[in-house]
Amino acid sequence: MNRSDDLCHVLTEDHHALRQLLVELKHLTVSEPLWRSLADLLIAEMTRHSVTEDSYLYPVVRDRLPGGGRLVDEYLAEHEKLERMGEILERNDLPGAELSRLLARLDTEVRAHMRAEEEELFPMLIEHLGAEELAGLGRKAAAAKQEASIRQRLPDRPVLNAIIATGAGLVERVRGHLRGRAYPR
């Protein structure tokens, strides 16, 4: 088995990308046009990652780990809190200082969530699941992530149009798009 195929590695790679976006945002002021673009990308990538975990990680944690139901409930509560913060962050009517404070809080919460998964949840998963099963889940998650890539710009897949459309908030639009296209139940 190639370690890069397993579910824990696939999700950890997402964590690295999210950390990088958070670092980039810290080095910009909210008045810079790039800040808004990166903030929207962060929200979309966080949502895509959340849907990946909801689809491939949490069902197996719930079913296979001791106390898995309780663990999943805790992680899902964290996801809800992070998504609410993302919904606030996407607003254009907040003063720059408030956006900066919110981003700092989001950064702290996201990093704590990722650290808990990487240091506590993933080792438990590795202990209780076989390497082949983790690899299979990782391949499915990687394929779904590729299908649902927020950065994808193929003519026959107008992802950006679906995400930029008016109506629901960015988190809801991304989640709806991903659920409708890439993450089978």
Mean pLDDT by 10-residue block, N- to C-terminus, for the chain (185 residues)?
Answer: 78 95 90 88 90 94 96 95 91 84 94 96 95 94 75 46 47 55 52
- CATH number attached to the domain at 3-181: 1.20.120
What's the pTM value of the predicted model, to 2 decimals? 0.80
pLDDT value of residue 172:
59
pLDDT value of residue 158:
45
3-state SS string over the chain?
A: CCHHHCHHHHHHHHHHHHHHHHHHHHCCCCCCHHHHHHHHHHHHHHHHHHHHHHHHHHHHHHHHCCCHHHHHHHHHHHHHHHHHHHHHHCCCCCCHHHHHHHHHHHHHHHHHHHHHHHHHHHHHHHHHCCHHHHHHHHHHHHHHHHHCCCCCCECCECHHHHHHCCCCCHHHHHHHHHHHHCCCC
Place of tokens 């026959």: 156
pLDDT value of residue 102:
92
Phi, psi of 157 (to 5 degrees): -130, 80
Locate the domains of the chain by residue range.
3-181
Extract long-range pairs of 93-101: CB within 8 Å, 24+ residues apart: 96/29, 96/30, 96/31, 99/30, 99/39, 100/30
